[in-house]
Amino acid sequence: MPAGSVKLGIGDDCALLRLSSAEELAVTTDLSIDGRHFRLDWHPPDAIGHRTLARGLSDLAAMGARPVAAFLSLGLPSSLVQKAKARRAWIDGFLIGLVKLAESHQVPLAGGDLAESPVAVADIVLIGAVPRGKALLRSGAQPGDLLYVSGSLGGSAAGLTLLEEIAIELQQTPIPRSRRIRIPASLRAALAPHLYPAPRIAQGLWLSSRSMATAAIDISDGLSTDLAHLCRASRVAGEIDAAALPIHPGATRAQALHGGEDYELLFAAPASARVPRSIAGVPITRIGRVLPRPSGKPLLTLLTERGTLPLESRGWEHFS
């Protein structure tokens, strides 16, 4: 049996995995709750499944780890559990979205738990493996390093805004409020970054295998919030060039700065590092630099056409 594989999956008291001793184990858990991280009436079931897994995979990507196994704990309201047909339809949709993404990253669903719950909750656990000492941490950025992001920013927040607009429109028509949104085919592309974000596993592996990044994090709460996490962990300050931001088409600058759930990678690398313009097909953009942190100065700044402004962390709080 190859290292890092699942020996025993669903059906015993625990799953059993094997790992090479040359590797470290990366573990992450992410709890998604109806009304907070998704909405049963807004998000198609397969998008909820996809997004649940994407959150966990993105944490592995941010460590430069390869996924080994996923575990899912699902709590569902009796309306989805008891009505045999609706249950099948909803759970099937959820699992189709989750398994499709899992298969594209060759990660087996190795176990989990299902229970009835007054509110829909999904907790995802991802186990990954990374060669010893190669994990990308948040804490290694040095003054003088440059800051990079993968892909584009703000697409998920823009998609969520669009989803909200569809929901408001639907509420103005005489249709029961509980009815689930049907997404018009013409809007699917615009909603894709929100509904089906792509965790950057290949890019994280590329960075960790080349020891190219001094620090990394995934953008789950928004660039301004996640950059602050990285800077605090590294005891440095960060500066973003507003003009350099790879803003997703249709998104605003504010959405690119503060919108969460893009699941792109944010990383720091020495100025001498030869960071390519794209990794595994995804563009990499230099968006700023790491500065020393003099006391009393803002943690984050934004370089704009009007000069340098302090940049507040205003991470997106969904449905709060």
Q: Which of residues 264-303 bind a second copy (CB under 8 A)?
A: none
Shorter beta-carbon distance to a second copy: residue 130 or 269: 130
The token pair that represents 81 in the structure block: 């559990």
Three-state DSSP state, 27: strand
| 196 near a second copy (CB under 8 A) | no
The C-alpha atoms of residue 235 and residue 254 are separated, in whole angstroms, by 25
The C-alpha atoms of residue 110 and residue 126 are separated, in whole angstroms, by 10
Residue 230 contacts residue 142 (beta carbons within 8 Å): no
Binding span for a second copy by CB under 8 A among 23-31, 92-100, 190-198, 287-295: 23-31
The binder of a second copy chosen from 127, 149, 240, 245 (CB under 8 A): 127
The binder of a second copy chosen from 19, 91, 254, 282 (CB under 8 A): 19
The binder of a second copy chosen from 10, 119, 243, 244 (CB under 8 A): 119
Q: Which of residues 33-62 bind a second copy (CB under 8 A)?
A: 33-37, 59-60, 62
The binder of a second copy chosen from 95, 162, 233, 273 (CB under 8 A): 233
The binder of a second copy chosen from 40, 47, 57, 69 (CB under 8 A): 69
| 157 near a second copy (CB under 8 A) | no
CA angle 131, 267, 136 (to 5 degrees): 20
| 10 near a second copy (CB under 8 A) | no
Q: Which of residues 131-150 bind a second copy (CB under 8 A)?
A: 132, 135, 137-139
Instruction: Say what the alpha-carbon torsion angle 203, 236, 316, 280 is, to the nearest 10 degrees.
Output: -10
| Longest CA span, the chain | 62
Three-state DSSP state, 188: helix
Alpha carbon distances (Å) from 41 to 135, 164, 297, 304: 38, 11, 44, 39
CB of 190 to a second copy, least distance (A): 28
CB of 132 to a second copy, least distance (A): 7
